[in-house]
Amino acid sequence: MRNEDLPDPESGHPRRKPALAALCLALVVTTIDNTVLNTALPALAEALPASTADLQWINNAYTLAFAAMLITAGSLGSRFGHRRTLTGGLVVLALASSAAALSDSTGQLVAFRALMGLGAAFVMPATLSIIVALFGPRERGAAIAVWSATAGIGIVVGPVTGGLLLDHFAWGSTFWINVPLVALALVSVLLLVPPLPGRRTGRLDLPGLLLSAAGLAALVDAVVQGPERGWLTATTLAEAAAAAVLLTAFTLWELRAAHPMVDVRLFADRTFSTAGGILGITFFALFGMLFGFTQYLQLVHGYSPFKAGLGALPFALSMAATAGTSDRTSARLGPWNTVATGLAVMATGLGALSLITVTTPYAVLALAMGVVGAGMGLVMAPASTLTVAAVPLEKSPMASSVNSVVRELGGALGIAVVGTVVSASYRSQLAGALPDVPAPAGADLPSAHLVAAALPPGPAGRLVAAANEAFTTAFDHGTQLCALVAVLGVAAALGRRRRQQPAAPIRGAAPDTAPGRPDSPAREKAPTPSPGR
């Protein structure tokens, strides 16, 4: 390893800014890939053909493999070098996407979607870990802010891209689009990201890898499949119990291992655990709301998949704007105040969305979504920075992986829990409005529209109107839950702020004012404990 390939502890690596662009491109590829398929599910159901259960597996196989392998991917990246695991993950993602596009059965597609999730798991945590390593203390917060803004854009660009492709091409295009995007990201990473060395300390923690992957897989599957199978069914309860046993065994093993994959003692750090929990809360609220919002736009307002994807653009634009400047906001207000403010703004937007009706104009929806995005943009970078800054520099890859796991679990829980609330409320509302509603129509809004299509105009109109009204009310109830969760996040952030001792503000150094980072210049300049704790 040449000396010029190693970052300076104070100023960072000389190639850090071009590398940031390449890393953000790699991140966008994974976030687009995670959401682009949502708009293709109806086309898949007709072309393969695929049942509702098949579609759930096609959608969830990616999430399951992705979440299960995140900690393992972060650990292997620390050992062998994050650029190596990043490029390897991109190659797997491209190959699996190509195979998925050529699938001719649901079983094949489920398998290749899982392989895509495996590749993405080696990409996302690596991007944040490399950013932490390349940037010095004073620029690290701004770099993480750009990274967070990019992630937010990718979340919404996926459905827009999927809708645009499906207007002109078959469902396979939603997978083929990954190939040129991955190729561009791969070339950019190889040319612009320096090859930082890994840290080989002791033997590979193989039991820890297996226990963490198996435990997270069981947990995610229980959460994702719970609403469909039933939360109290034998299968769901058995998976939840297996997850608890496996993750407890993982914790005990890591506490005793000579060279643990994850230093679980770091979870005792309140800054680390609170900031990580807030990231989970944020994604719970976001994905829970988006679950119903896309159906509301497509079915209640009658938007096409492409137009529905565009409907979420105000969220992406406002999030990118606030996330890109959140480091400066954090320098003025302090990280915990910024996080609390962001969650409060997010709760306000969610509260506004919980008041919509069947006839609410798009301008009102766009304004509310913009408020939600602005709030989330203020949360993402400071919360991510706090978790990374709460651990020693050599353990930042572990913090990056935990960040990704918490976000994924929060999003999965949001969809599962809010989806259950919306579904139960929809059935109750529709049964109250139409006591003799046909059974399939009472299951969900898409089924109601399908049933109505086979009825005479009069009954069809009454069923569609009642179903749209029932779903909108149910969506309002689900969004109220999301707003409440965001308010709980505000309380957690303010509670953490009150327990910290004041420190002299150092503009631009917010990411490294948290204790536990031995190389932090903020700790050298400010003798009092810093606001990270």
Q: According to the 3-state scheme, what is the secondary structure of 429-441? A: HHHHHCCCCCCHH
Closest to 485 (Cα-Cα) out of 386, 387, 424, 417? 417
| pTM of the entire predicted model | 0.78
Give me the tens of pLDDT residue by residue for the chain, a chain 533 residues long: 444 556 666 677 888 999 999 999 999 888 887 777 766 766 777 778 776 567 778 877 888 888 888 888 888 888 888 899 999 999 999 999 999 999 988 889 999 999 999 999 999 888 988 998 898 888 888 888 888 778 767 766 777 788 788 778 888 888 998 899 999 999 999 999 998 776 665 577 888 888 988 998 898 888 878 877 888 899 999 999 999 999 999 999 988 887 787 778 878 888 889 999 999 999 899 888 987 887 888 889 988 777 777 777 888 889 888 988 888 899 899 999 999 999 999 999 999 999 999 999 999 999 999 999 999 999 988 998 888 888 887 777 777 778 788 888 888 788 888 888 888 899 889 988 888 887 777 778 888 888 888 889 888 899 999 999 999 999 999 999 999 999 999 999 999 887 764 443 333 334 333 333 433 333 333 333 333 33
Whole-number pLDDT of residue 371: 96
Residue type, 394: E
Q: What is the DSSP letter of 105?
A: S
Q: What is the DSSP letter of 502?
A: P
Residue type, 285: A
Whole-number pLDDT of residue 39: 67
Query: Distance (Å, rounded) from C-alpha 188 to C-alpha 18?
Result: 9
**Residues contacting 491, CB < 8 A, separation 6+:** none
Whole-number pLDDT of residue 95: 96
Whole-number pLDDT of residue 517: 41
Measured in whole angstroms, the distance separating CA 403 from the mean position of its chain's CA atoms is: 10
What Å distances lie between residue 147 and 63, 89, 174, 400, 505, CA to CA? Answer: 21, 18, 24, 12, 24
291 Rama sector, left if φ>0, alpha if ψ -120 to 50, beta otherwise: alpha
> Looking at 164-292, which runs of residues are DSSP E strands?
none
Query: Distance (Å, rounded) from C-alpha 63 to C-alpha 65?
Result: 6
Provide the b/e sequence for 182-194 (b: ≥16 CB within 10 Å). beebbebbeebbb
> Looking at 83-164, which runs of residues are DSSP E strands?
none
Measured in whole angstroms, the distance separating CA 33 from the mean position of its chain's CA atoms is: 12
Query: Distance (Å, rounded) from C-alpha 300 to C-alpha 294?
Result: 10
Measured in whole angstroms, the distance separating CA 194 from the mean position of its chain's CA atoms is: 27
Q: H helices within 434-515, ranges in order?
A: 445-453, 457-498
Query: Distance (Å, rounded) from C-alpha 523 to C-alpha 304?
Result: 54
* Beta-carbon count within 10 A of 501 CB: 9
Adjacent-strand bridge partners of 12: 8, 135
Closest to 44 (Cα-Cα) out of 175, 221, 224, 227? 175
